[in-house]
Amino acid sequence: MQKQSTSLGWHPLSPAERSVAIEVLVHGPLSRTELARRLHLSAGSLTRLTKPLTESGLLVEAPEAGTADRTRQGRPSQPLDIVAGSRAFLGFKVTGDMVYGVVTTLRSEVVARLDRPLTGHDPAEVADVLAAMAAELAAGAPAPLAGIGIGVGGLVRERAVVGESPYLGWRDVPLARLVGERTGLPVVVENDVAALVEAETWFGAGRGLDRFVVLTIGAGIGYGLVLGGKRVPHAEEDHGFGRHWIIQPHGPLTPDGARGSAVSLLTIPSIRYQIRAATGRDATYEEILARAADGEPMAARVIDEAARALGTLVAQIANFVMPQKILLAGEGVGLMDVAGTAVHEGIGAGRHPLAAPVALETKVSDFHDWARGAAVPAIQVLVLGGVGS
């Protein structure tokens, strides 16, 4: 694609200006009075901070709901907002065999999607695929592109280098630089689970919450913890969460996790492995769920065991973290449709009888949701005044 200028017309933000911009981006539109209250600022300080933001076009004054037909006295009464469609971002989720791409607004709203297969894992070839997809998505983007976010399963350093990715067989791949050279755009690379947690914290189920957990089930298990409204980094998010979190000491043993671990009980590959080992026949995850729903004994046993393990895992997280909400997401959440009762029985068995109910929200998601999540660190880096490549 033709290289684009990375200049967005927005001046670098001071820490105080960043706090204003983030508050409006995540929670806006907000009146100046409410914004000052949230940030503990005087009216004069808020005016000083918002003036350069409105002059640069990052913030705008928006009419209050229901006031379009009557005259307002004085500009300070108008709430501040961000024009979400003023800039576009690209988000990519890279798996072992596919790249999933989306175009989002400044508020992470998906406006276009594009998928492409990977024929190999050579870093230069993968970067070429990403650049070609970026060019195609850019052609139909509703606004100038401001940056690219890429989500990868594995260890990511400095939001730029894939230190290790078992799905791609990579070590020390400077993915941000490779893609940035081909597109001329700032690129932010992040662990895929970490990116999804950031997306849900800023723009999704965790917005405005102080204590929030994201638990994903699919090819693996992902876990993200938010305290004080900020994601807590942890080493295992880059190395495969749950492989040694033992749910049933005498539970199944699978190639990817310790005996009876969350991974051995809950992940899609492990569930498929158990069915294949017991029956000698391969089956997709969807087929196994359908058979369990129809009462087929082996499928029903494996799915019921997985569901109760999920309930135990949720209960343990709730007991120790005491979150306001747990979001369950990922390609494996179909488990809730088939065996939701067993999940909730598992939660109940692991909680004190007088404990408050666990606020468990389920999000039916696919790889485009992971791609959307990957765009959010790029949005964050832009608003926070830095670049990732």
Contacts 24+ apart (CB under 8 A), 353-356: 355/318, 355/319
Structure tokens at 181: 């050279």
Residue 323 has pLDDT above 50, yes or no: yes
pLDDT at residue number 4:
45
Question: What does the mean pLDDT of the chain come to?
Answer: 89
Say what the pLDDT of residue 40 is.
Answer: 94
pLDDT tens figures, 123-169: 999 999 999 999 999 998 988 899 999 999 989 999 999 999 988 99
Confidence of residue 2 (pLDDT cuts 50, 70, 90): very low
d(CA 256, CA 264): 7
Mean pLDDT is lowest, of 5-14, 23-32, 172-181, 373-382, for 5-14
Beta-sheet strand order (sheet of 110-117): 110-117, 98-104, 88-94, 145-152, 187-191
Q: Where in the chain is the domain with CATH 3.30.420.40?
A: 85-198+369-383, 208-362
Q: By mean pLDDT, which of 224-238, 306-320, 347-361 is the weakest?
A: 224-238
Residue closest to 129 by CA, chosen among 147, 146, 110, 114: 114
Mean pLDDT, rounded, for 80-106: 93
* Confidence (pLDDT) at 388: 41
Q: In CATH, what class is 208-362?
A: alpha beta
Work out the percent of the chain whose per-residue pLDDT is above 90: 73
Return the pLDDT at 382. Answer: 73
How far, in Å, CA of 238 to CA of 216, rounded? Answer: 14
User: pLDDT by residue (tens digit) across 166-203?
Assistant: 889 999 999 999 999 999 999 999 999 999 999 999 99
**Beta strands at 230-232 and 221-227: parallel, antiparallel or unpaired:** antiparallel
| Mean per-residue pLDDT, 238-258 | 85
Give the residue carrying structure tokens 């997306």: 199
Statement: residue 85 has pLDDT above 60:
yes
Is pLDDT at 7 greater than 90 in this prediction? no
Q: Which residues contact 280 (CB under 8 A, 6 or more apart)?
A: none
Tokens 């009557």, residue located: 70
What's the chain's Rg over C-alpha atoms?
23
The pTM of the full predicted model, rounded to 2 decimals, is 0.87
- For residues 313-340, give the mean pLDDT: 96
Task: Say how far apart CA 52 and CA 122 lie, in whole Å.
Answer: 45
CATH for 85-198+369-383, among 3.20.20.450, 3.30.420.40, 3.30.230.10, 3.30.70.270?
Answer: 3.30.420.40
Task: Look at the domain 15-82 and name its fold.
Answer: Arc Repressor Mutant, subunit A (1.10.10)
Q: What is the pLDDT of residues 26-68, one digit of tens each?
A: 998 999 999 999 999 999 999 999 988 888 778 888 876 554 4
Strand-pair category, 211-217 with 221-227:
antiparallel
118 pLDDT more than 60? yes
Where in the chain do CATH 1.10.10.10 domains reside?
Answer: 15-82
